[in-house]
Structure 1
Amino acid sequence: MPIHIVLLVLFAALLHASWNALLRGGADRLWSMTVMCIAVAIASVIAAAFMPPPSSASWGYALLSALLHVGYNLFLVRSYRVGDLGQVYPISRGSSPVLITLGAAIFAGETIAPGTLFGIALVSGGIISLAFRGRKLSVPSLPYALGTGCFIAAYSVTDGIGARLSGAPLSYTVWMCALWGVLMPVVYIGLRDARSLFSVRPGMLTALAGGLVSLLAYGIVIYAMNAAPLGAVSALRETSVLFAALIGYLFLGEKLTTRRLLACAVIASGILIIG
């Protein structure tokens, strides 16, 4: 994989960990996530005005991905209600590279070199091991965390194929994100009401900023997926757990144990092999 793609995806991983930490630290995570999506929608519509539309062959993938992103949002918010960042994040992100590699092989016809597969396995295994407490994997929100990983895999493969068909990966990104950003507020209003969504609360500016950060991070990832195997890009993206572990330790009062440091070393080894 070209070194500039590796560095771009690692930067996206840092951005991704940052907005997840913002979400985990919020009092009303469904509201925070929806406000983030509003920011994504506004920024995407503005950006789309200056880009040519993606090929019509990719439109169905954009709509499907937007729906999958909404499902991902709901599962992620539910996971964080009873699980901490240091457990939910590694399970949801660590399970996805293997699923994406499998999905890319089935639906996109991708083949990956054995060395890269080994690197992906190291990254995924190291990430998931971060969720262990001692020798046990005790996560109250485990089904939702795993479900989140499945949604990540589904929308990543969908976007990987859609971006390649679009002829313009960045244009595809903003159109898909605009759809996602519009759908999520509709779901929120259906679950709650419009008044609570548009009320001014503490943390609104933070959530809006988080939305812009998430848009930039995912735009980088889709660009990378257009130039490199989906599974390898996903594995590099999920190294955001390294940044999440550090953010959780520094700002959210979560522990950074020797076991976690060793897991981070395994993940770093996988990164070197992939890169």
Structure 2
Amino acid sequence: MPPGTVAIVLAAAAAHAVWNLASKFKRQDTVVFVWAYFCASALLCMPLGVARMVAGQQALDWQLVVGSAVSAALHIVYSLTLQAGYDRSALGVVYPVARGSAPMLTMLCAVLLLGERLTPLAVLGALLIVAGILVVTGNPFRRGGRHPLQGLYWGAATGATIAAYTLWDSYAITAWHLAPASYFAGALLLQSLILTPMALRRRHLIRAAVRTDAVPIVIVAVFSPLAYLLVLTAMQTAPVALVAPLRESSIVIGALLACRLFHEGHFRRRLAGAAVVLAGIAAISL
């Protein structure tokens, strides 16, 4: 993978870590919070998407509509699956299983279904990144947790949805040659519209959520689309089988920052995992 593309994906990983850390400061209703930053992100991205159309870089055709609709549906399925897993099992089981299994499933499907070809060194790098992520997150079953086997199932299901939207987005961007800004803006708009009825049923919570969580909403609304637009841009020039594990280095960035910001433990283990991830990044870069 070209060094410039690696830099783009790592920038996306840093942006992803920033918005995930900001979301930890959320205090009000989760549905209203997600809906609010979806709407804000759509408002920010729509001008970029429209500008691509005005400039003639993207036509408002069936491919853009279908691509954005499928992407929005897959992202919503991902969100619902993840939330269902969190409701039924421990976050410490679901999250690492999901984020660790997703790049492996993506890489496997990209090779088998999309016909991507990877060098042995690139495969080694991807595996090192996944291994480093598992070192950072630690053993999800170490404390027994509640329903660890159920958490494993929900984590794997969540990882499958992540792989699904990653593969679809890669296909839409590369095979249909859709402009990332227009494509993602359309998906965000549809996600916002779909969540609006749920938010309106909580209309009495909207004012308090916007007032209390204004800063996290703005940060997530800016950095979440920035992170994924960078990923979509990287998919135009690099195999999704390598982009997927590389973008998951955001977990390492977020975990190291969490040690400092939230005084979480296991700093040495997380640092060791970060070193393994860096080795994987170096292998992919070569």
**Band the TM-score falls in, shorter-chain normalisation:** 0.7 to 0.9
2:20 is matched with: 20
Inter-partner Cα distance in structure 2 for 1:83 and 1:24: 17
Residue from 87, 90, 114 that aligns with 1:108: 114
Q: Compare 264-273 and 21-30 and name the one that shifted more.
A: 21-30
Change (3 A) 1:46 1:222: same
Does the 8 A contact of 2:50 with 2:182 survive in 1? Answer: no
2:41 is matched with: 40
Inter-partner Cα distance in structure 2 for 1:92 and 1:134: 11
> 1:35 offset after TM fit, Å?
1.6
Report how many aligned residue pairs link the two structures.
272
Identity %: 30
Alignment of 1:77-226 (within 5 A): 77=83, 83=90, 89-133=95-139, 136=142, 138=144, 140=146, 141-164=151-174, 165-189=176-200, 192-197=201-206, 199=208, 200-226=210-236
Q: Which has the larger radius of gyration?
A: 2
1:4 is matched with: 4
TM-score calculated relative to the size of structure 2? 0.84
Q: Output one character per residue of 1:209-242: Cα deviation in whole Å (capped at 9) or x when no partner.
A: 2122100110000010111000111111100011
Inter-partner Cα distance in structure 2 for 1:194 and 1:18: 28
Inter-partner Cα distance in structure 2 for 1:184 and 1:101: 31
> 1:186 offset after TM fit, Å?
3.6
Q: Compare 176-185 and 107-116 and name the one that shifted more.
A: 176-185
* Letter aligned with residue 35 of structure 2: T
RMSD of aligned alpha carbons: 2.6
Change (3 A) 1:185 1:147: farther
Inter-partner Cα distance in structure 1 for 2:85 and 2:212: 22
Q: Output one character per residue of 1:181-223: Cα deviation in whole Å (capped at 9) or x when no partner.
A: 332334444xx53332454331123213212210011000001
Change (3 A) 1:247 1:76: farther
TM-score calculated relative to the size of structure 1? 0.87
What runs of 5+ residues in structure 1 fail to find an aligned partner?
A: none
Q: Compare 247-256 and 231-240 and name the one that shifted more.
A: 247-256
What runs of 5+ residues in structure 2 fail to find an aligned partner?
A: none
- Say which SS state the counterpart of residue 231 (structure 1) adopts: helix
* Letter aligned with residue 168 of structure 2: T
